[in-house]
A and B are shown apart, each in its own frame.
Chain A
Amino acid sequence: MISSDVIRGYNDTMILYLLLDEPSYGYEISKKIRELSNDKYVIKETTLYSAFKRMESNGYIAAFLGSETYGKQRTYYKITEEGKKHYREKCKEWEITKEVIEKFIVRENDHEYNQKLS
């Protein structure tokens, strides 16, 4: 399980990615996030909803009411052009982030690990 602090800046990226294929609704998105992360990350309902609201007001996603299934009408979200643009930027940002942080990480089988940490 990853703590939500670490991942905070990238919740939007995950949601936007999932919306690239097709519009979706709250629980489906949270379920896909969990599945794609192999159960390592579970997004909290409040986190998810606040991301929806924030991205909606930024114009990255748009909400609409889906058709009724089993007597339940769900709010669906779809990605906008603006959202796609933002997603591309976030992907680029991640590449750089990864590159930068990577410089500061040592792994167990590295030569450096044995030298400095053991």
Chain B
Amino acid sequence: MNTIRNYLDNMFLGLPQTDDVIRAKIELLAMMEDKYNELKSCGKTENEAIGIVISEFGNLDELADTLGIKEIMENRTDIPTVSYDDAMQYIENSKLTAPKTALGVLLCIISPVTLMLLLGLSEMNLITAKEEVLVAVSLAVLICFVAAGVSHFIRFSSKMEKYEYLQENVFELDYKTEQMVRSIQEQDERSYKSAVNISVIGYILSALPIIITPLMLEIEGLSVISVAVTLIIIAWATYNLINKSAVHESCNVLLQQGDYSIKIKSNKISKTISKVYWLVIVAIYLGYSFITNNWAMSWIIWAIAGVLYGAIKAITDGMS
């Protein structure tokens, strides 16, 4: 039924919301729904029923006159259609670039790990080098990691650039393509869900080293090392998540579901707010951390910002 509703939404996209237009949409949906239900009760499968309903729907041009939207229908810039090949190529490319993007993220997250390990070990007196030397060495490593990570992003994000319009603009899929994308997503569903589960467990467990080590052992320097372990777990969980959710996400993009729904795409306010919001958060994070030098605590801004973003999004979505 959702497919039919989406189909009708697409058809009516960009039309003025006059009483006549709204009523026509309701009536057409009712007829399609009746037909769909009857076909289902006659033993047709979901896909067959949807196929028949959509193929017998007709053309909105027929209604242009009666709805007083003739001019709009004639001037309407046609919504672009994404072809079957393009859709499949997009999914394939997302799948290929995912591990690479994920690796970039992983490198960035673990970049401070050497710094922490070396400092921790030196505090435990297991390394007897000068602290300045250690910091210099590990900062060099940190920068190398970040540079490698970022160059990874740039290289592979430019490959995906040509598909950006799929995330930004409204488009149409023909029926066959949509069915194919749906079945790809369904097939991937199990691996996606288990990857999310595993990563979430990873995120939760990542807190353990920080919490437990000071309780069990009171060795100086160990707490810094435990943060390093936490970072490694977080990095791995994130890598896993990005890598395994690529197919699911790219199908969402193509089906215009979730974060990529037509409603959200046409909601310019919420898009602007989200852009501004995250820039402000980055500014706050950097400002606070550099001024107070409290890097150990300041990361908590990200956790709070994430939750707060959900709240802001709910409000802006509700307003539109």
Which of A30, A53, A54, A57 is the one whose CB lies under 8 Å from B31?
A30
A-B interface contact total, Cβ < 8 Å: 57
Query: 0/1 per residue, A47-86, Cβ < 8 Å to B?
Result: 1111011100100000000000000101100000000000
User: In the complex, are the beta carbons of A74 and B35 less than 8 A apart?
Assistant: no
Smallest Cβ distance from A65 to chain B, in angstroms? 12
On chain A, the number of residues with a Cβ less than 8 Å from chain B's Cβ atoms is 21
Which residues of the other chain, B, contact A26 by a CB distance below 8 angstroms? 27, 30-31, 34
Contact A44–B57 (Cβ < 8 Å) = yes
Closest Cβ of chain B to A42, distance in Å, is 6
Q: Tell whether B62 is near chain A: CB-to-CB under 8 Å.
A: yes
Q: Please indicate the chain B residues that have their CB under 8 angstroms from the CB of A46 in the complex.
A: 28, 57-60, 62-63
Write out the residue numbers on chain A whose beta carbons fall within 8 Å of the beta carbon of B65: 50
Query: Which range holds the interface residue count of chain B?
Result: 10 to 19
A31 within 8 A of partner (CB): yes
How would residues 15 to 47 of chain A score, 1 for a CB under 8 Å from any chain B CB and 0 otherwise?
A: 000000000011110110000000000101111
The minimal Cβ–Cβ distance linking A99 to chain B, given in whole angstroms, is: 30
Using known A-B contacts A26-B27, A42-B56, A44-B57, determine if residue A31 contacts B63 with beta carbons closer than 8 Å. Answer: no
- In the complex the two chains form, what is the Cα distance from A29 to B87 in whole Å? 39
Interface centre among A45, A48, A53, A54 (most CB of B within 10 A): A45
The winner among A42, A49, A52, A57 for most chain B CB atoms within 10 A is: A49
Interfacial chain A residues near B60, Cβ < 8 Å: 46
Would you give 10 A-B contacts (Cβ < 8 Å), ordered by A?
A: A26-B30, A26-B31, A27-B35, A44-B59, A45-B58, A46-B28, A47-B58, A50-B65, A50-B66, A53-B66
Closest 4 A-B residue pairs measured CB to CB? A44-B58, A46-B58, A27-B34, A53-B66
